[in-house]
Amino acid sequence: NRETRLLRDSDWHIAVTDVLFLGPALPNPDEIVNGVTGLIGNTPLMRINSLSDALGVEILGKAEFLNPGGSVKDRVALRMIEDAERMGFLRPHTGSRIFEGTVGSTGISIATIARARGYETTIIMPDDVAEEKVKALLSLGAEVQRVRPASIVDKKQNKSNFDAHFSGTGPEIWKQANGQVDAFVSGAGTGGTVAGCGQYLKSVKEDIIVAISDPEGSGLYNKVKFGVLFDRKEAEGTKRRHQVDTVVEGIGINRLTHNMELGLPVVDDAFRITDAEAVAMSRFLVKNDGLFLGSSSACNVMACVKLVKKMGWEGSGKCAVTILCDSGTRHYSKFWSEEYLKNAGIPVDLSLVEDLLRKT
């Protein structure tokens, strides 16, 4: 069947029938959850009213910032730790230490879950990520080692990452939207979200459009559009992204991860989002919806609007779903700092969004 075919394109062999129907039930608000990990996943799917009303298209955001560790990465961290326990690599309350290289969110998620399960953590992270992420890690009792970004190691190849989205986030979206999903949009850092959700959603509805929101300096847009990760001329003209001094954190990359390779067969389109556009969308959503988002979420929402406009879906009542990865509270010192933006030469100009909507 289709899902088996899609997954066979990669060299990861997954027992699809095992995972397809394992999506967790949506939460029963009357039930007591079991500890902090019981709060992970089953996040609400939220209608973004300002954009949905203006476009005549349902723009829905999966509110991943409501996870206890504050981001979508809680799902991945939980899955990685549970898989490691199942394989016997980790045993709770035996002094085991988890090492992880990350730009921040995954580290915070791991440190959160580690505390709940009796592990120590060492997080290795680039020295330029927003300071509030370091503070959160230290507060959670993690040891933090900061390195120049080029030497970072990461979970980009970890299959638990894909599985968390294929059997969790994807099925949740499908169920919550009652199968009325016409497009799914996501940025890609490790690629786990777009690969896992994209593969799942295409397996249940073949003609869903899966699109990547790609920030400035990332090569994924070119990979999707032209088959090459980046073209040299462009790379020379623009800053290439190695998670160095980028205002949009967590998405955008210039190499193909294993998770991304799994996702590419189901990715139909990509949208390049400038830093100024991401900033504009974040301010627009606070002003009109009271929605205070981090940088990758703002990119994702901007890409949804661009997709709707490109497809000519205005007024159609169709539905585009995206991921609201984390909240603005993780981004005070960069993306939400007027001073940082000014120094980086990034304008705060809401007309970049308002003009798009006005032309609807």
Of the candidates 248, 244, 299, the one whose C-alpha atom is nearest the C-alpha of residue 271 is 299
Least distance (Å) from ligand PMP to the CB of residue 285? Answer: 16
Q: Which of 61, 187, 215, 252 binds ligand PMP (CB under 6 A)?
A: 187
Q: Cα-flanking dihedrals φ and ψ of residue 268, to 5°? A: -95, -30
Residue 275 Cβ vs ligand PMP, minimum distance, rounded to whole Å? 15
Contact pick of 7, 77, 103, 247 for ligand PMP (by CB under 6 A) = 103
Token pair 């969004």 is found at 353
165 DSSP assignment = I
Catalytic pick among 62, 73, 156, 318: 73
Q: Which is nearer to ligand PMP, 69 or 187 (CB)?
A: 187
CB of 36 to ligand PMP, least distance (A): 19
296 interacts with ligand PMP by CB under 6 A? yes
Least separation in angstroms between CB 153 and ligand PMP:
14
Identify which of 206, 226, 222 has the alpha carbon closest to the alpha carbon of residue 214.
222
| Closer of 46 and 357 to ligand PMP (Cβ) | 46
- Residue with smaller CB distance to ligand PMP, 165 or 318: 165
Q: Which two tokens stand for residue 356?
A: 């798009």
DSSP string, 180-240: --SEEEE--SSSHHHHHHHHHHHHH-TT-EEEEEEETT-SHHHHHHHSSS--HHHHHHSPP
Q: Does 124 bind ligand PMP (CB under 6 A)?
A: no
59 to 78, contacts with ligand PMP by CB under 6 A? 71, 73
DSSP tag of 167: I
For ligand PMP, the closer of residues 267 and 353 by Cβ is: 267
The answer to the question of residue 190 lying near ligand PMP (CB under 6 A) is yes
Residues in 235-254 that interact with ligand PMP by CB under 6 A: 250-251
Task: Give the nearer residue to ligand PMP in terms of CB position, either 110 or 325.
Answer: 325
Among 241, 249, 239, 247, CA closest to 276: 247
Alpha carbon distance 328, 298 (integer Å): 10
**23 vs 170, which CB is nearer to ligand PMP?**
170
* 198 near ligand PMP, rule: CB under 6 A: no
List the end-to-end C-alpha distance of the chain, in Å, as a whole number.
Answer: 39
Contacts of 312 (CB under 8 A, 6+ apart): none
Tokens of 221: 């847009």
Spatial neighbors of 225 by CB under 8 A, at least 6 apart, are 270
Asked if residue 326 binds ligand PMP (CB under 6 A), the reply is: yes
Residue 224 lies near ligand PMP (rule: CB under 6 A) = no
- In whole angstroms, how close is the CB of 259 to ligand PMP at the nearest point? 7
Beta strands in the chain (DSSP E): 45-47, 58-63, 97-101, 120-126, 143-147, 183-186, 209-215, 269-273, 319-324
For residue 274, report the phi and psi dihedrals to the nearest 5 degrees: -75, 160
Q: Are 187 and 300 in contact (CB under 8 A)?
A: yes
Q: Spell out the residues 6+ positions from residue 28 whose beta carbon is closer than 8 angstroms to its own.
A: none
Least distance between ligand PMP and beta carbon 251 (Å):
5
| 342 flagged as catalytic | no
Rule CB under 6 A: choose which of 303, 307, 325, 341 binds ligand PMP.
325
> Residue 295 CB, nearest distance to ligand PMP (Å)?
7
Candidates 32-40, 189-197, 199-207, 278-286: pick the segment binding ligand PMP (CB under 6 A).
189-197
100 binds ligand PMP (CB under 6 A): no
Q: Verify binding: residue 191, ligand PMP, rule CB under 6 A.
A: yes
- Total chain residues near ligand PMP (CB under 6 A): 17
Question: Shortest approach of ligand PMP to residue 188 CB, angstroms?
Answer: 4
Q: Enumerate the active-site residues.
A: 73
Q: Which residues bind ligand PMP (CB under 6 A)?
A: 71, 73, 103, 105, 187-193, 250-251, 294, 296, 325-326
